[in-house]
Amino acid sequence: NGDVNVGEEVEYTITGIEPGAGISQATNKALEEYDNLEGWTHEESSTAAMLTELGEALDNEEEIIVAAWNPHYMFAKYDIKYIDDPKGVYGGEEYITTIARKGLKEDMPEAYEILDNFFWEVDDMESIMLAAQEKDFEEAAQDWVDENQETVDSWSEGVDSVDGQDIELALTPWDSERASAHVAKIALESKGFNVTLTPVDPQIVFQAVSAGDADASLAPWMPQTHRDFYEKYEGEYEDLGKNLEGAKIGLGVPTYMDIDSIEDLEP
């Protein structure tokens, strides 16, 4: 990367997001595991603040290193790329899985069946995330359901309706999970459930579902992003399997930056 010291230009700082995020944990680990990142700072704040800083850096063609992930519109909206992570701190391909409290299958077999069947594609989730830039998630999710009724129907094929049973879904406070939770809500409501959505930090998702305070969640990113929490509570909840494949987390930079790997960042 020529004679430009990227570290100096970004003030040896990685621009992160909320401290409770799995990706924030991974970035803290990266600072420990990459010797060349000794002395670097991980600046945690919020997703909104990170995106604002990213947008400003791109407007000014400045250097920036951010916590990046997809599904998200950041790769469509901004000209950014992932940099390599040879130590695999951020994992490889991630999937999103559905977990349920023990006993849900017996107590609410209809809801369990719908949640178990919930599976969609990256494009589906991203289309709601994009639409939700202009309207609320409820409306964006409803529009997607209207256009994809067959998919939604396939999740509840043969499932009986119930008469106003209450069910609570825990989610994490990111757009990807707002999208899946709102679609699950609509699917469950169409079979007679009263659905409450409760946004909490990733660790609390596992804690709440394990304790039976929440019935289920479509929010866990695996095998790396939320692995610590997944393993901490393993055996206290049920994993119903993937609801989406093809996710990823890592460090992102503007494509004009001449850097390809975390290992190439200067101490």
Give the interface with ligand PBE as residue ranges (CB under 6 A): 17, 21-23, 69, 172, 174, 176, 202, 221, 225, 249
User: How far apart are CB 227 and ligand PBE at their closest, in Å?
Assistant: 11
Nearer to ligand PBE, 204 or 249 (CB): 249
Percentages of the chain per state (helix, strand, coil), in multiples of 5: 40, 20, 35
Give me the phi and psi of 9, to 5 degrees please: -65, -30
Which amino acid appears at position 181 of this protein?
A
User: DSSP 3-state assignment of 128?
Assistant: helix
CA angle 203, 209, 210 (to 5 degrees): 85
User: How far apart are CB 226 and ligand PBE at their closest, in Å?
Assistant: 6
User: How far apart are CB 219 and ligand PBE at their closest, in Å?
Assistant: 7
Nearer to ligand PBE, 22 or 254 (CB): 22
Q: 104: closest CA among 11, 214, 264?
A: 214
Nearer to ligand PBE, 19 or 103 (CB): 19
User: How far apart are CB 199 and ligand PBE at their closest, in Å?
Assistant: 12
**Environment class of 75 (CB within 10 Å of its CB; exposed 0-12, middle 13-18, buried 19+):** middle
Nearer to ligand PBE, 174 or 193 (CB): 174
Q: Which two tokens stand for residue 160?
A: 């009986």
In sequence order, the 6+-apart residues with CB closer than 8 A to the CB of 107 are none
Q: 10: closest CA among 74, 68, 62, 49?
A: 62
Nearer to ligand PBE, 21 or 80 (CB): 21
Which amino acid appears at position 6 of this protein?
V
Give the C-alpha separation, 217 to 239, whole Å.
10
User: How far apart are CB 253 and ligand PBE at their closest, in Å?
Assistant: 17
User: How far apart are CB 38 and ligand PBE at their closest, in Å?
Assistant: 24
User: How far apart are CB 64 and ligand PBE at their closest, in Å?
Assistant: 17
Nearer to ligand PBE, 103 or 223 (CB): 223
Q: 168: closest CA among 197, 199, 135, 203?
A: 197
Nearer to ligand PBE, 23 or 195 (CB): 23
